[in-house]
Amino acid sequence: MAPVRLRHPKGVTTIQVAFDRDDFTVQHLQQEIYAASDILPSRQSLKAGYPPHALTLIPELPLASLGLKSGEQIIVSELVTDSSQRSSGPTSRNNPVTPVSPTRRGATDNMGPMPTTIPASTASPQSTGPDSVATDGGVLVHRIVPDDNSCLFAAISLIFEQTITKAPEMRKIVAEGIRNDPETYNEAILGMPPSQYIATILKPSSWGGAIDLGVLAAHFKTEISSIDVETGRIDRFSPPGDTTGGMRCVVIYSGIHYDAATLAPMAEAPSEWHQTLFPVKTSSEDDAVLVAAKKLASILREKKAFTNTSTFDLKCEARLKGEKGARAHAEQTGHVRFGEY
């Protein structure tokens, strides 16, 4: 059995399906979706991939006919023909709605309650919403997380858990990954004894960085692409042995802060409609999601939304120069909360 993530009107659910069994059919998948969403199989509209495309549902065929992969995300919505055919209340097993004949949908059609995509040409330049860039299947959105020394872990938690509240769990994953691989994560790599690094990274006040992204990429078997706002450089953290399963996520690095980038039908779409993992279409930076991420970094760069960590000034009880000065001061004094001049 392998996990598949469902995004449906009730929220997000992970189900287990059997990709390697011919007797596990599309109908079995639809029943699992029905159990999670209360949408009858005959009314289910399913989309997957990047950009999201409609899946052709033939219940008798094996699940493999849909071309899905382990860990893939499926967007589930309910088929309707017009507003008069919507139920007066939520669909349930005790109060089913008469099925509506399925209609074929394109990759950019509206999906039930999902907000309509706003074309880039008609979006208001004065929008007060998050920064975003139009790309295939929607817009790539800058998802800002709190600036509280745990931003890297909050961004990764947002991507893999759809919430920032699991940031402490991401720290534990890093600690465990380092503990279990002393050959890779030795004192020379970490810059300190592994036990000290583990104790440090578990503290909510400790910043995360490249080492932690590498551990998290290995744990989730997903490439983590980090876009540097100041330079536009892409640092790609891949699991060892090319075990990504063909998936990628994106974080945005401002020099002292990490945020996430996710795909939505429109910038103001509810968080439950955001896609956080993307199939790797190409290993080059021509991949559509990476192109959009670099454009998003350019927008932030034009706004000066980055910090040069070699020259920026910090204020604590003393005026400090650069990230190195901040780290040295923190080690000497225990101070961890800084503000930039």
Give backbone dihedrals phi and psi of 138, rounded to 5 degrees, phi first.
150, -140
Beta strands (DSSP E) in 49-127 are 53-54, 73-78
Residue 239, domain member (yes or no): yes
For residue 78, the one-letter residue type is E
Same domain, 185 and 262: yes
Tens digit of each residue's pLDDT (9 = 90 or more) over 298-319? 999 998 887 765 555 555 544 4
CA distances in angstroms from 320 to 15, 160, 161, 305, listed in the order given: 50, 35, 36, 20
Residue 22, domain member (yes or no): yes
Same domain, 298 and 261: yes
Same domain, 149 and 298: yes
Q: Are strands 223-228 and 247-253 parallel, antiparallel or unpaired?
A: parallel
Residue 72, domain member (yes or no): yes
The confidence score (pLDDT) of residue 95 equals 34
Residue 6, domain member (yes or no): yes
What's the CA gap between 283 and 293, in Å, rounded?
15
Q: What is the widest separation between alpha-carbon atoms in the chain?
A: 70
Same domain, 147 and 75: no
Residue 89, domain member (yes or no): no
177 CB-near residues (< 8 Å, 6+ apart): 185, 215, 216, 218, 219
Same domain, 174 and 318: no
181 CB-near residues (< 8 Å, 6+ apart): none
The confidence score (pLDDT) of residue 308 equals 63
Same domain, 185 and 239: yes
Chain length of the chain: 341
Same domain, 293 and 166: yes
CA distances in angstroms from 134 to 105, 113, 115, 153, 229, listed in the order given: 21, 21, 15, 26, 18
Same domain, 186 and 333: no
Same domain, 264 and 146: yes
Same domain, 296 and 318: no
Candidates 325, 190, 332; CA nearest to 256 is 325
Q: Structurally, how many domains does the chain consist of?
A: 3
Q: Which residue has the tokens 């490439």?
A: 223
Tens digit of each residue's pLDDT (9 = 90 or more) over 257-295? 999 999 998 888 888 889 999 988 877 888 899 999 999
**Cα atoms in the Cβ-side hemisphere of radius 13 Å centred on 252:** 30
The whole domain housing 34 covers: 2-80
282 CB-near residues (< 8 Å, 6+ apart): none
Where does a domain end: 80, 100, 120?
A: 80
Same domain, 326 and 273: no
Active site residues: 148, 151, 257, 335
What's the CA gap between 174 and 181, in Å, rounded?
11
The confidence score (pLDDT) of residue 211 equals 95
Residue 122, domain member (yes or no): no
Tens digit of each residue's pLDDT (9 = 90 or more) over 213-229? 999 999 999 999 999 99
Q: Which residue has the tokens 């503290």?
A: 203
What's the CA gap between 273 and 36, in Å, rounded?
16
What's the CA gap between 175 and 212, in Å, rounded?
9
Give backbone dihedrals phi and psi of 73, rounded to 5 degrees, phi first.
-105, 135
Same domain, 235 and 165: yes
What's the CA gap between 336 and 339, in Å, rounded?
10
The confidence score (pLDDT) of residue 286 equals 84
Residue 232, domain member (yes or no): yes
CATH number of the domain enclosing 10: 3.10.20.90
Measured in Å, how far apart are the chain's first and last C-alpha atoms?
A: 53
Residue 126, domain member (yes or no): no
Tens digit of each residue's pLDDT (9 = 90 or more) over 240-253? 876 545 899 999 99
CATH number of the domain enclosing 282: 3.90.70.80
Where does a domain end: 47, 62, 80?
A: 80
Candidates 164, 125, 170; CA nearest to 276 is 164
pLDDT-flagged residues of the chain (< 50) = 81-127, 244, 317-319, 333-341
